[in-house]
Amino acid sequence: MLSIIIPSYKDPLLGKTIESLLENAEGEIEIIPVLDGYYPETPIKEDRRIRVVHLGRNQGMRRAINAGVSVARGEFLMRNDEHQMFGKGYDVILTRDCQPNWIITPRRYALDPVKWEIMKEVPPVDFMKLKIVNMAPGVRKFSGVEAPGDPGKPIQESMAMQGSCWVMPHAWWDKVIGELENEGYGPHYQDSHEMVFKTWQAGGKLMVDKNTWHAHKHRNFPRTHNNGTAENPSNNESCWAYSLSIWEDYYNKEIKPRWKV
């Protein structure tokens, strides 16, 4: 079974995302929306495959993901955002292709959330390089930068992912990830980099599976917690600096030479 965890905060597209997950699944799934200190205006539909978790107060995306994992019953875990649509059979394909020491993410398209369709003018993302980028004078962060993939490989290793949709064996989370850290990182960001670095250190890989896809709300459209929330704000610069303090040395010594970045 695939357990699908959706950390959610006041996003009006949560219902459509759940519908897409239900309509396109071809195997056994459970969907775990984690309501981060709120109740949606439109109630979540009743379906035996949906198990709602409500956090009594707003705790942030990282703790919401941890809470969803803690109750997940599936052999595989999937995490996705609350504004996405999915290809037919995404669940069977991703769990079929995922190896015991992999994090796997599907091909990513851009979603127009108003028309609820893929933006055909925006090319899909199959590969990302992991770089340290300058955000402002003296402010740096790890960032996934879109780059050309290898069209000849239906499943390709990648350096980075957006973090909006991934699958891994539940056993790999328990053994390697443990939980997403909150001290230092703060409540919201750099979660994908934390997981990928931990996976690399344990001998695993990050892979992109082009046999299926997801479409994520394009950046041109507003988000409900792009910089945290009023109840639980995010200090982005502190988060970025902490991530660098933990992983920059490993990145420079181990990852850059391997990938020739």
CA distances 123 to 98, 127, 200, 213, Å, are: 24, 12, 28, 13
The pLDDT > 90 percentage for the chain reads 89
Total domains in the fold of the chain = 1
CA distances 132 to 126, 206, 240, 241, 248, Å, are: 20, 18, 10, 11, 9
d(CA 82, CA 15): 8
Domain holding 121, by residue range, is 2-259
Q: How confident is the model at residue 260 (pLDDT cuts 50, 70, 90)?
A: confident
- Say which CATH number the domain at 57 has: 3.90.550.10
Residues 76-99: pLDDT tens digits? 999 999 999 999 999 999 999 999
Is the confidence at residue 257, as pLDDT, over 70? yes
Contact 199, 254 (CB under 8 A): no
Which amino acid makes up residue 58? Answer: N
The pLDDT > 70 percentage for the chain reads 94
Which amino acid makes up residue 199? Answer: T
Compute the average pLDDT of residues 108-115: 96
Among residues 134, 142, 98, 113, which one has the least CA distance to residue 222?
A: 113
Is the confidence at residue 4, as pLDDT, over 90? yes
Length of the chain, in residues: 261
Dig out the tokens for 26 from the structure.
Answer: 């071809």
Q: How confident is the model at residue 236 (pLDDT cuts 50, 70, 90)?
A: confident
- Give 5's strand partners: 32, 79
What is the average pLDDT value for the chain, to the nearest integer? 94
d(CA 77, CA 11): 22
Give the number of C-alpha atoms closer than 13 A to the C-alpha of residue 243, restricted to the C-beta side.
30
d(CA 167, CA 104): 5
Global pTM reads: 0.95
Is the confidence at residue 152, as pLDDT, over 80? yes
Residues 13-63: pLDDT tens digits? 999 999 999 999 999 999 999 999 999 999 999 999 999 999 999 999 999
